[in-house]
Amino acid sequence: MKVYGLIGYPLSHSFSKGFFAEKFAREGIQGCVYDSFSLPAITALADLIAKYGTELNGLNVTIPYKEAVIPYLDELSPAAAKMKAVNCIRFINGRKIGHNTDAIGFRRSLEPLLLPHHNKALVLGTGGAAKAVQYVLEALNIPYQLVSRQAGAHSIAYENITAEVIATHTLIINTTPLGMYPNVDAAPALPYDLMNEKHLLYDLVYNPAITTFLQKGADGGARIKNGHEMLILQAEASWEIWNETV
């Protein structure tokens, strides 16, 4: 039996287990199982690996361990090393190799939506998911400004977002869990009334399908996209990595 799964905490919001169960059934993939492993601390990863041994072929990694998992790995892909964030682990010949398929899924989902005037971005949040978004924006030559609850060396605070910032940054990407079920009324503190049809709002959250962040943008005429397609694309990319021939 080949075991795959998802680690994070908590995992009540995850779609991965159902996605892979459907994939295995639809594509006639046998001898494989995908499960959710809720780990209260990343230190529990060692016990999980010991429990399944050589049967463990791959793991996905979600909040809050995309950065914390790195010291437990033997190697990083070049992209994961640059991002300093991992959401996919391949186990091969006793080695744990970290990859990042968030960037793959995000780029494949975002690119078809971009118009020439989407030439500056606001990235809401500075966690592991934001690292993948930054990596993609840099690859696409789109300058970005990080936004956090408190201003930092490389980020501004929400209260520093002026009318000019909103007008010039027409691509706005939410990488925070704000608005995720069950806290569906939460949303980043932005001047939504200044948004218009030139704006593209992308939310990595996918449950609910239309977050308060997206709805407020749409009310002003902005185009919107949630993270469901990105999630499917990154999951498929994980499967490709786990099954690459060596």
Q: Is 84 tagged catalytic? A: no
Q: Which of 23, 66, 96, 225 is catalytic?
A: 66
Q: Where are the beta strands (DSSP E) in 87-135?
A: 88-92, 95-99, 121-124
**Cα–Cα separations (whole angstroms), residue 95 to 12, 36, 42, 49, 117:** 29, 21, 18, 11, 44
Q: Is the dihedral of CA 232, 235, 241, 244 positive or negative?
A: negative
Q: For residue 15, count CB atoms less than 10 angstroms from its CB and return exposed for 0-12, middle for 13-18, buried for 19 or more.
A: middle
Q: Where are the beta strands (DSSP E) in the chain?
A: 2-8, 32-38, 56-61, 75-76, 88-92, 95-99, 121-124, 144-148, 155-157, 171-174, 200-203, 223-225
CB 97 within 8 A of CB 230: no
Dist CA 116 CA 70 (whole Å): 36
Provide the 8-state DSSP code for 19: H
Residue count of the chain, please give it: 246
How many CB atoms sit inside 10 A of residue 190's CB?
A: 21
Nearest to 16 by CA among 240, 234, 191, 242: 234
Nearest to 201 by CA among 188, 218, 189, 186: 218
Report, as residue numbers or ranges, the catalytic residues.
66
